[in-house]
Amino acid sequence: MNKKSRAIDLLIVTALIVAVVGISHFVVVSPLGPSRLLYHIQLPLIQWTTKCSDGAPAWMANIQQYSAKNMTAPASQLAFIAPDSDELYHCETGWKDGVFGDELLQSKARFRFASTTKTVTAIAVLNLIANNALSMDDTVVDVLELGGDLQDPRVGDITIEHLLSHRAGWDRLRTQDVMFMKDVKPWCPYDPEQLATTSLLNAPGEVKGYSNVGYCLLGLVIEKVTGQKFREYISEYFDFESGTLAFIDGRYLDDEVVYDFRHENFYTETYFENFDFNSLSSSAGLSGSASDLAILVRQSLKSEPLTILDGGMANNCDPAQIQSCYGYGVYRYQPASDTMPLFIHEGKLPGATSVVIVDPMEGVLVWLGAGAVRPGVNAHQNFYDHIREALVHHYQ
């Protein structure tokens, strides 16, 4: 073997060693890295599975293609109810039982709604207000008949409207979210008297501060006013027996989609063991199909005199920022004054992403995804902008 051949062999061996060391380092430093890279290879086949109901607008399939790539959801449902005809259209992408599984996703497959549950809770509260069983100005302390001294007197000023619009004075971004403390049972809804020991970051009504505990308290308010357990009342009022809607108790149900956790940094498929799902019933505990959630929201818009679109969504907030201008169970997102606003509530649990969108014409769009967005990207806002563009063209 001449020197040139030996040099080439040495170069090849060196390259292989560098490659093996590099790959090994990548796997050690980023154990989810290979599966995340694999998603880009799987993506074309995931997108290829997209199917839509007869007559569905072409832009719905486009949104599914977009969401598979940019929301990194290998399985998803999209439902849209047109305001002019109340006709329901739906699309599905991926497999119910995981990437390249045996069963393509169907329109009745179950997804976790996560925080889009709050929109359903808000609709139920607004109905009680419309029927004079409750008032926006009622204080939660009075409704729940909580006596005794308050550690923070401002707690006594928290009204139903404050809870609906995330203006009760709490802020989960600045303090720990008591509803999602790992392996800790929250005080709400089991011990509402602890509300008296709560301290607020802001005076009620002063600023927006997204709060899961606020919607847990709304669940207790519903129980107090109706005399029924929250789950029982909601199941009867929204006629769960006629569709897919159901509460989650933690473990996955037989008709539930398989979630993809490769883009989660902290949680895996056993995450549900760390949280109390009964306490999350009114804030993040519902599940079902995109179609059934869209039907529920669309029907609620026909109620009188209050709907989720009647909330004041212009109070000291910037509508160009998502999750800023909350009203009653949705927030207004409008990047510029000359763009069409969207009224949104989104949800996030490990491996599950969801969004409810109502447009100004009262068309309703629901998207449910069995995946998590890539860490460090602005996927949600871009997704909503993409949907807005599709809706603008739809109504032209």
Tens of pLDDT, residues 297-317:
999 999 989 999 999 887 778
Q: What is the pLDDT of residue 55?
A: 96
Two tokens at 311? 């909330």
- Tell me which CATH code domain 44-395 carries: 3.40.710.10
Q: What is the pLDDT of residue 18?
A: 38
| 90 in Cβ contact with 56 (< 8 Å) | yes
List 364's β-bridge partners, or say none.
81, 358
End-to-end CA, the chain: 74
pLDDT along the chain (396 residues), means of 10: 56 46 38 85 97 97 98 98 94 97 97 98 98 97 92 96 95 81 94 94 91 97 98 98 97 97 94 97 98 98 94 85 94 96 97 98 98 89 98 95
Q: What is the pTM of this model?
A: 0.91
Per DSSP, the three-state class of 304 is coil
| 219 in Cβ contact with 230 (< 8 Å) | yes
Two tokens at 225? 């006013």
Mark out the alpha helices in 103-186 (DSSP H runs): 117-130, 140-143, 160-164
The tens digit of pLDDT for each residue in 124-149 reads 999 999 999 999 999 999 999 998 89
Q: What is the pLDDT of residue 363?
A: 97
Burial 346-376 (b: 16+ CB within 10 A, else e): bbbbbbbbbbbbbbeebbbbbbbbbbbbeee
At 16, give phi and psi (nearest 5°).
-65, -40
Measured CA to CA, the distance from residue 357 to residue 179 in angstroms comes to 25
Q: What is the pLDDT of residue 21?
A: 35
Q: Domain extents for the chain?
A: 44-395
Per-chain mean pLDDT for the chain = 91
The tens digit of pLDDT for each residue in 56-106 reads 999 999 999 999 999 999 999 999 999 988 999 999 999 999 999 999 999
Closest CA to 367 of 84, 73, 87: 73
